[in-house]
């Protein structure tokens, strides 16, 4: 896999590779076609993993994938096993457990809506060359205020009255400019009757341009087993508000900005004759290995049957607005 992964993110521990420029491998590109042919040929001759290396490498055997899938289905009923098209079934998986799917998962807003501060993030290094660092979502100037933030308006003191003004703020010399309410008194008999029906409504009606209305999308999310990378792989097939299928490229709008440019590919689903957006798995194993080590360091013992819960939590950073179900604490 290292020969394929050409470009890496800043932090290699949680990096995910992409295929040079353009960053998203789209259907029909020469680079994507060559990689697909190579991967298919490699899978045809490479053996199926039979020994567990969940903790050591972050990978799964097909049996472990089924075990983790069974745990996900039993815990979260929104997920279910599917057999897929018979011609596309993999012999190393049970016929009725080829992949997992959850349908009609809502996505109420686009990923850009939750990335307001993404472009303003700044990595602040630790003191004295320390490895620890933190992210400042807005640049800070020397005074500690955010750059570009409006300056606070100076509020005058309540005691600093203008010369000659009273405590109420009114200059006695300006009394002649204040109208007398008696000038506005009228005889009730001379007033015309008021047609209450003709009065404007007291309700305020908020209108918004049609282009600014965010339409709710839904997704069918599926998880397959990737024999080449020996990890799960997620596929996104979306619908708009009218249940019209989205183009695979439109799914990029629901992927975080950084990952949409680097980790999403558009390919044929391995168990269905559809084009779908997929989160490329070339670094899933290393990320899962790191997350398992973090659990162990925190005093929890990672379990292979809970692999998919940890996996889906990790994917939440990539597809932050797609509200799929993974309601279980891992490492317990």
Question: Which pLDDT band, with edges at 50, 70 and 90, does 7 fall under?
Answer: very low
CA distances from 262 to 171, 252, 272 (A): 67, 11, 25
Give the model confidence (pLDDT) of 54-70 as tens digits.
Answer: 999 999 999 999 999 99
Picking from 226, 290, 230, the residue whose alpha carbon sits closest to that of residue 60 is 230
Q: What is the mean pLDDT of the chain?
A: 73
Tell me the angle at which helices 284-297 and 307-315 cross, rounded to the nearest 10 degrees: 110
Q: Is the pLDDT of residue 20 over 60?
A: no
Active-site residue set: 282
Distance, in Å, from the CA atom of 59 to the CA atom of 40, rounded to the nearest integer, reads: 19
Q: Is the pLDDT of residue 277 over 70?
A: yes
> What DSSP string describes 109-129?
S-GGGG-TTGGG-EEEEPGGG
Question: Which pLDDT band, with edges at 50, 70 and 90, does 188 fall under?
Answer: low
What pLDDT does 62 receive?
97
Q: Mean pLDDT highest for which of 172-181, 198-207, 210-219, 283-292?
A: 283-292
Question: Which pLDDT band, with edges at 50, 70 and 90, does 82 fall under?
Answer: very high
Is the model's pTM score more than 0.85?
A: no
Strands of 217-226's sheet in order across:
80-82, 99-107, 217-226, 231-239, 275-279, 264-268
Picking from 206, 196, 224, 328, the residue whose alpha carbon sits closest to that of residue 280 is 224
Question: Which pLDDT band, with edges at 50, 70 and 90, does 249 fall under?
Answer: confident
Is the peptide bond between 22 and the residue preceding it cis, with omega within 30 degrees of 0?
A: yes
Question: Which pLDDT band, with edges at 50, 70 and 90, does 156 fall under?
Answer: low
């Amino acid at each position: 896999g290292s020969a394929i992964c050409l470009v890496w993110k800043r932090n290699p521990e949680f990096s995910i590779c992409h295929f040079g420029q353009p960053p998203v491998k789209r259907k029909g590109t020469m680079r994507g076609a060559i990689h697909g042919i190579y991967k298919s040929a490699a899978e045809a001759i490479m053996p199926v993993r039979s020994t567990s290396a969940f903790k050591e490498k972050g990978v799964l055997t097909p049996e472990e994938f089924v075990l983790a899938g069974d745990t996900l289905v039993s815990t979260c009923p929104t997920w279910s096993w599917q057999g897929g098209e018979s011609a596309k079934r993999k012999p190393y998986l049970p016929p009725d457990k080829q992949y997992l799917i959850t349908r009609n998962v809502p996505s109420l807003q686009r990923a850009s809506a939750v990335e307001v501060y993404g472009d303003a993030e700044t990595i602040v290094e630790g003191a004295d060359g320390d490895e620890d660092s933190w992210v400042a979502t807005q640049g800070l100037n020397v005074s500690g205020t955010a750059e570009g933030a409006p300056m606070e308006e100076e509020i005058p003191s309540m005691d600093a009255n203008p010369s000659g003004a009273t405590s109420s703020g009114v200059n006695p010399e300006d009394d002649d400019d204040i109208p007398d309410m008696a000038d506005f008194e009228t005889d009730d008999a001379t007033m015309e009757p008021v047609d209450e029906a003709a009065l404007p409504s007291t309700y305020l009606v908020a209108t918004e341009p049609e282009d600014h209305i965010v339409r709710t999308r839904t997704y069918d999310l599926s998880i397959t087993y990737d024999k080449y990378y020996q990890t799960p792989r997620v596929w996104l097939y979306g619908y708009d508000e009218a249940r019209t299928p989205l183009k695979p490229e439109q799914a990029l709008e629901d992927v975080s900005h950084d990952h949409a440019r680097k980790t999403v590919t558009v390919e044929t689903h391995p168990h269905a004759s559809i084009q779908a957006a997929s989160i490329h798995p070339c670094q899933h194993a290393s990320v899962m290995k790191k997350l398992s080590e973090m659990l162990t360091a925190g005093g929890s013992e990672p379990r292979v049957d809970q692999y998919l819960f940890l996996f889906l939590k990790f994917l939440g950073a990539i597809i932050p607005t797609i509200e799929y179900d993974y309601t279980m604490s891992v490492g317990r």
